[in-house]
Amino acid sequence: MDQEGAAEHSSFDYCPWDFARGASSAQRAAQAERQRALTATGARLGPRCFVSAAAAVFADVLSLGADSYIAGYAYVTGEVRAGRDCSVNPYATVRGRVTLGDGVRIGAHASLLGFNHGFAPEEPVHRQPLTSKGIVVGDDVWIGSNVVVLDGVTIGDHCVVGAGAVVTKDLAPWTIAAGNPARPLRDRRGPTGPNGRGRSDGPGGPGGRSRSDEQGGASRAADPDAAGGAGGARTRTPGAEQGDALAEFAERARTQAAAVLARCWNDDTGRYADRPGAAPTVRAHCDAVEIADLLLGAPPEQMTAVEHAERLRVLQDPASGLVPELAPGGLPGVPAAPAEDGWIEDGAAEYHVLSVGSALELLGSRFAHPVHAVDRMTAGQLVARLDALPWGTRAWTAGAWVDCWATGAYRNRELKKGTSGGSGALEALFGWLGTRVDPWTGMWGTASAPSEGRLQLVNGYYRLTRGSFAQFGLPVPWPDRVVDAVLAHARDPRWFAEGRQNACNVLDVAHPLWLAGRQTRHREDEVRAWAGEQLVSVLRKWHDLAGFGFGPAGEGGSGPGREPGLQGTEMWLAVVWLLADLVGTADRLGYRPRGVHRPEPGGSPAFSRPGQRPS
């Protein structure tokens, strides 16, 4: 290569964001060959990725989402998985088990070290084994130059880590941190965003991209097809238009959130109902807490956080640990008699393990008692009950039971500092699930008849994985097959034609696609297209000052119906985030679910605000 060609090639090693617009045909061919060599070793590289020939990439596992790059002289080894729009800038080091979300910017000379040496005194260090807890970095994170992130650290979404920091402990979402060791300085949202939950439009923030790779900011220029030349007009892309629509919707919902909640509050009973004229319910109170947290970042104004929490805590039955539906007059309910294994067959009480536990956590509180119905169940009793669930006829019911039991186990671990269930019961659950999954669908159970489609199967999969794999932060088996099964179901006009969607059915497709999409890019364009179509439809369903209606009744007449109410509003707000994240525009919403439908595993720093501690 002549001197001019060598200089051009060197500029892309340091400025890979220019490659898409400035590379010659020969340079594009060389990059394609570089990527073919990597994929031949098992790497997965999304569209428009760039991996510098000058980067030392010796990874056992390498997965890069679309529009991600590794710049020259970076050092990458181990198991490295990155989402879309991620950058590893010049001379950065990424080693060990490292997982990056979407939009992560790693500045020059930074080091993410997802492994460690043993250093017990009785052996020389070089003879001791390596350990690896792994590093997890959320979405939209800016890691500045010369930052060091140590093994076992989780950095929540939207964080900014200042140059030269040494990160030794988890960082909650939206944290700006710096120093050695790194300490939180402030919340990135600051006082200027809408209701304190706005987004930064500074370098590396979701509102704009900076090319200042020296500080690890967003350093890849926008798609050249989306912008004119110097001084030219900027063309609006469909994605940008959809992002604007999301931002407008979110601001509209925030402005009306207090009215939506007040509409469903009854001063006489001191309780929430799903909608005016309906009976008060436990779930309605929990939905109100989640809606307020999503849109306002505060508890519903009808009571203080402490009052909300106490109103919910007293509803828990101390003997079983379940939360029955309210008795007449809004008093705590009385549970039914338990079965031989101690379980209480009560669908509402089972769901309240999810909804009340999440609402309490959002309020900075927790259950007053363990979920004894879970805690006292032995591994043998659990396996017997799992075997007896109606997997062949009502997989949705079976998945919902697993969701409740696993969530009860998770809540008990909170109360008991890491132990839950009878001896080995939680391990038995995951062992049973691991040996019963269908490798053809990646799911549990079967569709009872071809004419009935996959509704039971897919909706049961959502409930099962929400409480188990997703909540405990474990990878789902057979993610490619899951995507195939879910997309086939998503084409069924009985549930997804315009006017026939309800919040439950769309959620139960969006979440599995999102969850599997954390492990695979299989059929990514089809997933994004489906999510975009649904998103356009969902945004039209908002009723001013009333929120979302659930939609047409589900199978067996389930759901509160089309009238706007708290359940529909809470569920559709979560659905909107999931669909927007599948499309790649969730940052425009300015909110992220943190309750029942949160995307993060339980206990993730993405679940807590800086400084928040449960009481």
Catalytic residues: 117
Spatial CB neighbours of 41, under 8 Å, sequence gap ≥ 6: none
Q: Which residues pair with 155 in a beta bridge?
A: 137, 171
- Strand bridging mode 56-64 / 75-82: parallel
Residue whose C-alpha is closest to residue 449's, from 389, 374, 393, 385: 393
Q: How far, in Å, CA of 205 to CA of 189, rounded? A: 10
Q: Which two tokens stand for residue 491?
A: 């084409």
Q: What angle do CA 49, 16, 65 make, to 5 degrees?
A: 25
SS3 457: helix
92, 128 in Cβ contact below 8 A?
A: no
SS3 62: strand
362, 602 in Cβ contact below 8 A?
A: no
101, 206 in Cβ contact below 8 A?
A: no
Q: Quick count: other Cβ atoms within 10 Å of Cβ 580? A: 26
Residue linked to tokens 């990646």: 442
DSSP-derived secondary structure letter, 423: T
Q: Which two tokens stand for residue 228?
A: 């004119």
- Based on its alpha-carbon atoms, the radius of gyration of the chain, rounded to whole angstroms, reads 25
Sheet of strand 87-88, all strands in order from the earlier edge strand to the far edge: 50-51, 69-70, 87-88, 104-106, 141-143, 160-161, 175-178, 183-187
Q: Which two tokens stand for residue 243?
A: 């992002």
Q: What angle do CA 449, 454, 458 make, to 5 degrees?
A: 140
**82 residue type, one letter:** A
Query: How far are the Cα atoms of 381, 474, 519, 549, 572 from residue 459, in angstroms, in the given order?
Result: 25, 19, 20, 19, 16
Q: How far is CA 290 from the centre of its chain?
A: 16
Residue linked to tokens 């997703």: 470
Q: Which two tokens stand for residue 99?
A: 């997982």
Cα torsion angle, 520, 521, 525, 531, sign: positive
135, 154 in Cβ contact below 8 A?
A: yes
Q: How far, in Å, CA of 88 to CA of 111, rounded? A: 10
Residue whose C-alpha is closest to residue 94's, from 147, 44, 165, 138: 147
41, 22 in Cβ contact below 8 A?
A: no
Torsional class of 553: left (φ above 0), alpha (ψ -120 to 50), beta (otherwise) = beta
Q: Which secondary-structure segment (H or E) carries 255?
A: helix 238-263
Q: Which residues pair with 77 in a beta bridge?
A: 58
Question: How many residues in total does the chain contain?
Answer: 615
Spatial CB neighbours of 52, under 8 Å, sequence gap ≥ 6: 12, 13, 16, 69, 70, 71, 72, 73, 74
